[in-house]
Structure 1
């Protein structure tokens, strides 16, 4: 007897990628399936295309939010296995649903591996970054058997397990909130490496910047709300947690080296001032981020011992990432790794720290331009 599957897709406005995703799922050779699509303020052409498909569509006026859409779709779903997909992902290969079902037979919640589509340095950097996320999930699955946070762009969970964990709540970020509650509920976890989905990098650096502002604040809120659980896990698995931190956040190493080896107090004061400014006024974040990165480069150029230490850390990082890439089926380029380590990651880390200052120091978890 086949497992009944409900695929749930939330969307705002919709897009050609959403229509393409729905068509792919409809064409899947898996009988016991239903596809539920919730679209807030749908574009007319998207709504017209979706109405032609044999799926459950829920069109809503206004922007009611992702969690509201997920909860609405869940209430109308009937499948034993729930598969949540973002509206801009693309399943890779044939037999997507069948393979997901087979992968889920021995676990209760599974993150579907994500690779990044697109060209250029931005897409390449995000792809390498997602490789580290995938590997982090794989390490947690093998060493702990549970997940701390789930990437909500593509994952699967049994209905009974979803209910046991408490389902989605109105939290920031909603997917990581569900992930850590699955950890507390003891749900068995694994990374589903086959099949995978293709994510698409932001269309521009401006869009990437907006996304990372949200992610930075969301990460800070998640840590604030779950710090006791995270601290307990850190005490129980210190070496694993530290390794995961350095894999997922490559710029953590050069940051620590720069702070520890640079003795100029004025540099530290300027850097902290820039971070504080950017955390208070998100509209100034691009300017503040560039200034912060410029200070980082200045420290490298003026302090030879710092530069040597960071080049050594980059060598270790490259060896580690090449080993990870081999295990995960990725192909890396040294130039792309250098850009990731020396440019992309420091920019992202600055935005992340800015989000933490905003949430922990100024007690603000909104992303408006002014406090």
Structure 2
């Protein structure tokens, strides 16, 4: 019986979170009978201590007077847990209000798999949050694709996911790395853990509201991603060779700006050459008085239009693809917002990643980590 499975909800907090209180209230109201909530707080503030007092006896709190880091906090929470299913939640998320029991749905969806990724959507409280929404759509689409093709995953966003206790123990818990969620996903892939993208479940996560704050977060994520690639590039290459039909499309799905990058390498050069040639020939014709063969001008104009059309078609194709996947995965889709994401935020995220990859491989001594692993 599904109702006989106990679920442990594990929440790490650094100092405080503006959404922690509402998250705990939602979990306390959840009617699922066999549950426990464990919250580990590093260096708690007065606000966090007030929350501890309010939920004392209902939630198991572990308070650390200093910062032990997210990985250590998660593993410490696990050591105090007793559930058959482990649900890891960041402290800056909101649970949906349209479900009678979020926890019961988690237990239902994880029944036939070892690892369950829960869809993430942004709390749309700023312009940056509205645009970042499409980055989460790309991630969910990639995980859905892995779920349907391989039933395994290489990595996931650890803000909200569930894993069976036995699988977590077999994997040895979290390792002390920056991107502990990517690392756990990769090890689950190698151990053939069955993976699924949740169908009904979703959470809403708080994202940076300014470009500066977004950049700081992505810089940290970029370092973690680069270190993950450096540690696992041989393994990733082998997986790519073995499962090219899944891995190659996934690279373009998770980062649509790669398509834009490839187009920018070739198309602008051709467009610039053709348009410059047309202008030069027109200038020479007017100044020197010779006649340019009309067929040449027509030929160059056709090439120019062809390449501009190719660029436009690629934009429209990407928009159509993510519109369809948004409908499939129940994500909001606004073409204007997606265009900003496609042309600006996604390329910026790719640039941050590539920059950190170069540093990690060529200048590892210049990598500065100002947070606790």
TM-score range, shorter chain: 0.7 to 0.9
- 1:157 counterpart residue number: 163
Matched residues in 2 for 1:363 and 1:190: separation? 35
Separation in 2, partners of 1:72, 1:106: 27
Q: Quote the RMSD (CA, aligned, Å).
A: 1.9
Instruction: Report whether the alignment pairs 1:31 with 2:28.
Output: no
What is the deviation of 1:63? 1.5
User: Which residue of 2 is the match for residue 221 of structure 1?
Assistant: 227
Select the structure of larger CA radius of gyration: 2
Q: Distance in 1 between matches of 2:217 and 2:308?
A: 31
Aligned partner of 2:368 in structure 1 is: 366
| CA distance in structure 2 between the aligned counterparts of 1:326 and 1:48, rounded to whole angstroms | 41
Specify the alignment match of 2:174 in structure 1: 168
Within 5 Å, give how 1:265-304 maps onto structure 2.
none
TM-score, reference length from structure 2 = 0.84
CA distance in 2 between partners of 1:168 and 1:368 (Å): 20
1:19 maps to 21
The equivalent residue for 1:5 is 7
1:171/1:43 CA distance change after superposition, 3 Å:
same
Cα contact 1:257–1:309 (8 A) shared by 2: no
Q: Which residue of 2 aligns with 1:115?
A: 121
Taking structure 1 as the reference length, what is the TM-score of the superposition? 0.85
SS in 1 for 2:68: coil
* Correspondences of 1:306-321 after superposition (within 5 Å): 308-321=309-322
The whole-number CA distance in structure 2 between the counterparts of 1:149 and 1:350 is 20
Contact 2:267 2:311 in 1 (8 A): no
Which segments of 5 or more consecutive residues in structure 1 lack a partner in the other structure? 265-302
C-alpha distance after superposition, 1:243-290 (max 9, x if no partner): 1111111110121122234559xxxxxxxxxxxxxxxxxxxxxxxxxx
Aligned to 2:244: 238
Q: How does 1:49-60 map to 2 (within 5 A)?
A: 49-53=51-55, 54-60=58-64
Structure 1 residues 62-141: aligned runs within 5 Å:
62-93=66-97, 94=99, 95-141=101-147
Shift of 1:330: 2.2
Q: 1:207 to 1:222 in 2, by over 3 A?
A: same
What pairs with 1:171-182 in structure 2 (closer than 5 Å)? Answer: 171-182=177-188
* Number of equivalent positions: 331
1:345 and 2:346 matched: yes
Contact 2:7 2:87 in 1 (8 A): yes
Distance in 1 separating the partners of 2:311 and 2:13 = 42
Corresponding position of 2:297? none
Q: Distance in 2 between matches of 1:222 and 1:79?
A: 29
- Distance in 1, matches of 2:128 and 2:185, equals 27
Partner secondary structure for residue 186 of structure 1? coil
Confirm or deny that 1:206 pairs with 2:212.
yes
- Residues 127, 209 of structure 2: 8 Å contact kept: no
| Distance in 2 between residues matched to 1:356 and 1:119, nearest whole Å | 31
**Whole-angstrom CA distance in 1 between matches of 2:241 and 2:170:** 26
Shift of 1:209: 0.5
Alpha-carbon offset, residue 151 of structure 1: 1.2
Secondary structure of the structure 1 residue equivalent to 2:256 = coil
SS in 2 for 1:16: coil
